[in-house]
Amino acid sequence: METIAAVHRNHFGEIISFVTSEGRIISYRKALSEAEDGLIHGVLATPDTDGKMSLIPATDQSFDHFPNLF
């Protein structure tokens, strides 16, 4: 099962892409789509306060403990 291994943040600190356990670098939107389809495990697609779908780790509150891609 593929999982999220690392994140890439922009200069505002927002996550813009992920590195998967298979070594793929995928955009936030692609990761969201794959999580909704059950292809990436360990993350949940959930609506944020604005009603937009966002990703959160299944076991933690944030991706802060994930290593940075760059």
What is the per-residue pLDDT across 10-63, written as a single tens digit (0 to 9) for each? 999 999 999 999 999 999 999 999 999 999 999 999 998 898 999 999 988 889
What does the alpha-carbon distance between residue 10 and residue 22 come to, in Å, rounded to a whole number?
22
Judge whether 7 lies within some domain: yes
Domain count within the chain: 1
Burial of 37 (0-12, 13-18, 19+ CB in 10 A): exposed
This prediction has a pTM of: 0.88
Please give the residue range of the domain that contains residue 37: 2-57
Judge whether 53 lies within some domain: yes
